Amino acid sequence: MADAAPAHPGTTAAERHACLRLLSYGLYAVTVRRGGEHAGFTANWLTQVSFDPPLLALSVESDSHSITFIQATGIFTVNVLPRGATETAGTLGRRWAKVPDKLERVGWDAGPNGCAVLHEALGYLECAVDAALPAGDSTLFVARITGAGVLREGPPLMMSDTPFKHAG
């Protein structure tokens, strides 16, 4: 790997943040479980990385409550939220320390892998972690898609559909 280029000396943090906000992101509800305990969070750093085998990458803040579930069990479910599900995304986006019952504030049933499938989801992807690596203040998980379901048709929720601002 070549040495990384130094940051352009004229670039400000505000310019970097503004440009990063131009990247398009979906907004997803990721659910986890450990035994009988369930949790969930909003994620926007998620992408498909391979067709064969079907893999995706998910970035999770390393100090989050839910990351301990993923590390312990190696599984999670990605719920694709529909456009208009801003309230659900906002609820699940709150820190567990402030709102420990946030998953109980949305309707869900346990999916085949035991993680929550939200009633309002367009569909879901069940995932099993193949690899994890530190990535700054987050952990990047590469996971196999082990199950999926389409629940209804409709456009997915995008970060640009919401009033939320990611720090960048």
Q: For residue 20, which of 50, 53, 45 has the smallest C-alpha distance?
A: 45
| 125 phi and psi angles, rounded to 5 deg | -125, 120
Distances in Å between the alpha carbon of 8 and those of 2, 23, 155, 167? Answer: 17, 19, 38, 20
Answer yes or no: are the C-beta atoms of 30 and 41 closer than 8 Å: yes
The domains of the chain, with CATH numbers, are 28-159 (2.30.110.10)
pLDDT of residue 168: 43
Q: How many CB atoms lie within 10 A of CB 127?
A: 28
The tens place of each residue's pLDDT in the chain, 168 residues long, gives: 555 555 666 778 888 777 777 777 889 999 999 999 999 999 989 999 999 999 999 999 999 999 999 999 999 999 999 999 999 999 998 888 888 899 999 999 999 999 999 999 999 999 999 999 999 999 999 999 999 999 999 999 887 777 676 544
